Amino acid sequence: MTAIADKTPADPPIIRFEGVHKWFGNFHVLRHIDLDVVRGEKIVICGPSGSGKSTLVRCINQLETHQRGRIVIDGTELTDRLADIHTLRSEIGMVFQSYNLFPHMTVLDNLVVGQHRVRQLPRSEAESIARQHLERVRIADQASKYPGQLSGGQQQRVAIARALCMKPKIMLFDEVTSSLDPEMVKEVLDVIVDLADEGMTMMVVTHEMGFAREVADRIVFMEEGCIVEENKPAAFFNGPASEGGRFFLSQVLHYG
């Protein structure tokens, strides 16, 4: 496990937000976001729905574009004029709430297509990498099935493997357990915990507070498009510094 302590303060952040704003029509969804993430760091973003968590994460691979401010990923600033957004995206893995596997391809082909068509690896090499990653998410025996034949938990693990195949520098998880049946949440979270232990840089939007506490280096709490609190997980869960954080936890943990 890579400890953040190894990094010198001068180590440039792999993700940097500087005064980022975004609007959906008139709705001001991100309001002056400043955030630095260093290599190997695991950030959990939480907050009430509609607070802009997903939008923030989706700005990192430009599935959403920001309108003001700067976002710099590993030294590359994200602008409209960025010549090769596709290469950049291929180096950022993303896992979605609704899996979004390609239903017309086998599990194996889901993992091969990006390596073969974006990273230009020969098919045979892509397939062997794909199989390694299916092994890693404990689903190697399903390689020739179609996504529709798998359970939700299995599909989500395939989606994680698909992202990992691209050898990403950063992994983004956008509420990846929110549409799973309760008994399948753990198998997916276990895979993410393993990944965290290996030192992957991760940004995770989640409502799983127990998981957040275990895996996060830092909790980012959002409310109405703003980051209102950044804190160590232990400190955040023991007593958030912000009023919004305290209210949020009181709601989340109500039955917990």
Partner 1 sequence: MSATVRKIQPAQPPPVGSGTRISWLKENLFSSLWNTAVTLLLGWFTVHFTLTVIDWALIDAVWHGESADACPRDRGACWAFVTARWQQIIYGQYPGALLWRVHTAFALALVLPFAFRLARGRHQAGIRATVLVILPVMAMLLLSGGILGLEKVPTDQWGGLMLTLVIASIAIVFSIPLGLVLSLARQSRLPALRLVAVGFIEFWRGVPLIVVLFAFVSMLPLFVPEGRNIDILVRTVIAFAIFNSAYMAEVFRGGLQSVPRGQYEAAEAIGLDYWKTMGLVVLPQAIRNSVPALMNTCISIFKETTLVMLIGLSDLLGVIQLSLEDPDWLGPTHIYGSAYLFAALLFFVFTYSMSKYSLRLENRMNVEH
* Chain residues that interact with partner 1, rule: CB under 8 A: 61, 63, 86-94, 96, 98, 100-104, 113-114, 117-119, 146, 148, 159, 162-163, 166
For residues 91 and 190, which CB has a smaller minimum distance to partner 1 in the complex? 91
Please, which residue, 119 or 186, has the CB nearer to partner 1?
Answer: 119
How far is residue 43's CA from residue 4's CA, in Å, rounded to a whole number?
12
Q: How far is the CB of 120 from partner 1 (least distance, A)?
A: 11
Measured from the CB atom, is 53 or 218 closer to partner 1? 53
Q: What count of other Cβ atoms lies within 10 Å of the Cβ of residue 52?
A: 24
Closest approach of partner 1 to the CB of residue 99, in Å: 8
Write down the least CB distance from residue 209 to partner 1, Å: 26
Least distance in angstroms from the C-beta of 14 to partner 1? 17
Q: Kindly give, in sequence order, each residue whose CB lies less than 8 Å from that of residue 183, ignoring residues fewer than 6 positions away.
A: none
Q: H or E stretch including 76?
A: strand 76-77
CB of 152 to partner 1, least distance (A): 14
Bridge partners, residue 43, by sequence:
203, 218
Say which amino acid occupies 158. Answer: V
Question: Residue 192's Cα: distance from chain center in Å?
Answer: 10
Considering beta carbons, is residue 68 or 104 the nearer one to partner 1? 104
| DSSP alpha helix (H) spans, 107-208 | 107-117, 123-136, 152-164, 185-197
Question: Any residues with CB less than 8 A from the CB of 160 and at least 6 apart, and which?
Answer: 93, 95, 137, 176, 188, 191, 192, 195
Closest CB 207 distance from partner 1, rounded Å: 19
Q: Which is nearer to partner 1, 102 or 247 (CB)?
A: 102
- Between 16 and 116, name the residue whose CB sits nearer to partner 1: 116
Q: Other C-beta atoms within 10 Å of 34: how many?
A: 12
Q: Is the CB of residue 19 less than 8 Å from the CB of residue 33?
A: yes
Host H or E run for residue 59 = helix 53-60
In this complex, which beta carbon is closest to partner 1, that of residue 46 or of residue 92?
92
In angstroms, give the least distance from the CB of 160 to partner 1.
12
